[in-house]
Structure 1
Amino acid sequence: MSRLTRRYVLGRAARLVLTVWLGLTLMFIIPRLGRSSPADAIIAKLAAGGGAADPSLVNAYEKRLGLHESLWHQYLDYLWNAIRFDQGYSLSEFPATVNSIVLEALPWTFGLVISATLISFVMGTLIGAIMGWPKSPRALRRILPITLLFSSLPAFMIGIVLLFLFAQQWHLLPFSGAYSADVVPGPNLPFVSSVVSHAILPLLSVVLVQMGAWAMGMRGMLITTTSEDYVMLAEAKGLRPHSVFLHYGIRTAILPQVTSLGLALGTAAGGVVVVETVFAYPGLGNLLYQAILANDYTVIEGVAFFLILGVSVSTFLLDLVYPFLDPRIDMRGR
């Protein structure tokens, strides 16, 4: 590894650490700006179950969860526990640990976000490339912009419309959940089929919103690329139009799209919060919503930690891949 490459990797790694630290700090401070105390969640849960909110019991909960210590001490403990991937106990589901709750919901959100982002990236990039290439069929370029209308609508609104049409009116897809109650979870065809059918509507809600942004970005970059000298030279040499389109047009114009892919993961992760709530999908978004309602600080911080870490790591990995797509970055060492 050359000196420039080493500096590039270390710089991106330092940016990764700084991003995670700032995100964790904000997520520690924001929930504590409210007037309510974590003990309120315990009192509300006891009252809902018909129990008495014994002050000694609440005091025991606060002591067990470290809420009697100073805010600075809680912050240092929070950072240390984050380094050790130990998020402590849930306030509303005590004695369940935050890790066990979050890890149960993580695969659903991970699959939804990754699938929606990649599908929208591929489809949007292809649509934008067709719209931006001057030699594309005129009829196709007129039809494709219709797909961009969904990008102006929020994902949850599209999800409600899809629920009304496909679930309520036509009875083609299920209303909510991740799989049917009559199937046994595991590596079997009925379970996999049920998971896929339940994920179609949430997935489609996110894809329809994201696809337009990818298409517009690719269209703008390709229009700029077609006026470059090397593209005109390739055409003058008599290369086939599809070769110029793929090897000279898309290959260059797609570079900014790849850079935006990491940021899109963060946008998708934040967007699925409401989408998962609409579809009662058991992912991190729905878990975060329930934790906010229950004033469960530890679960909120745990969900935010995994979201921040996932987006930061994905961006870091894309930064490492990008020099292979654009060798000029390695030569500059930045």
Structure 2
Amino acid sequence: MKILVTGGAGFIGSAVVRLAVARGHEVVNLDALTYAGCLENLASVADDPFYTFEQADIRDRAALDRILAAHQPDAVMHLAAESHVDRSIDGPGDFIETNITGTYNMLEAARSYWVAQGKPEGFRFHHISTDEVYGSLGAEGMFTEDTPYDPRSPYSASKASSDHLVRAWHETYGLPVVLTNCSNNYGAFHFPEKLVPVVILNALAGKPIPVYGQGLNVRDWLYVEDHADALLLVLEKGALGRSYNIGGENEARNIDLVKTICSILDQKRPEETPYADQITFVQDRAGHDLRYAIDPSRIRDELGWRPSVTVEEGLERTVQWYLDNEDWWRALQNRDGVGQRLGTKG
């Protein structure tokens, strides 16, 4: 299969690209290389004959039309998005333009291309989204694909909007789509503004490890390589017009996750005092959802997928990767917003 992946230089996108190429798919990576895009994520496939890079912005419709016509993919995997909640609080405009208008451009470009190709039966448009569109859970319950949308941040609202657009293009124009909504990802190549890399890198630097509120917010943690595997499975075997929730079956409170990372670092790179001594509770962010939890029954029952990596195993792998790849993360330290508290302008 020839797959056009948008946002393929990002964290999840690059995992998808690496896995797709490893499985023999031809991949065209379309990425604007904004602050979080990093071509070093794809060094292992950069010279592979099955890999091509196109620098373009999904807000540029003419570029999208050109790239689709030139490469004639069998499928589109749309991952390109602004994705950091804290940044969406400080500057929601970029999220509206990229996640909503950009997705509209992708849908229209894909529809035009699909029609021009004679509406091939095997074509797929796979839209990758987040569990944050469902809002916040209490102590009980889980998100299913039928959970009503209730986004609480500019980021989740923009992703909810993009999900609705994708469904509308399927119902109105017949565009063959599949959708997925995932829980929190972690793993190698995670841009150093998100929780897991922030904990690792601040710990190593001897800096305070910031934890919002009391660290009681609960997330379901999904190892990024498991996620990439699930995404390719949905692309190939998911039912048209269907959405699939992808979870790691690994719920944890933020404070417990942080302490686990500190404990792993204590073993791998011990210091005179435990890394957990650096934990510092900071003012919570605006609209911080209490709990997310995914019910993965549909993807398990219909497609036979389950995550293969426990959060303990995945965190151990992730910490080791950051210890082994200092050159990668040090090169990103001067990028906009890295190492700063964001999301305080609300």
Does the alignment reach a TM-score above 0.5?
Answer: no
**Which is higher, the Rg of structure 1 or of structure 2?**
1
Higher normalized strand content (fraction of residues): 2
Higher normalized helix content (fraction of residues): 1
Using CA pairs below 8 Å that are at least 6 residues apart, which structure has the higher relative contact order?
Answer: 1
Q: Please, what TM-score do these two structures have when normalized by structure 1?
A: 0.24
Q: Please, what TM-score do these two structures have when normalized by structure 2?
A: 0.24
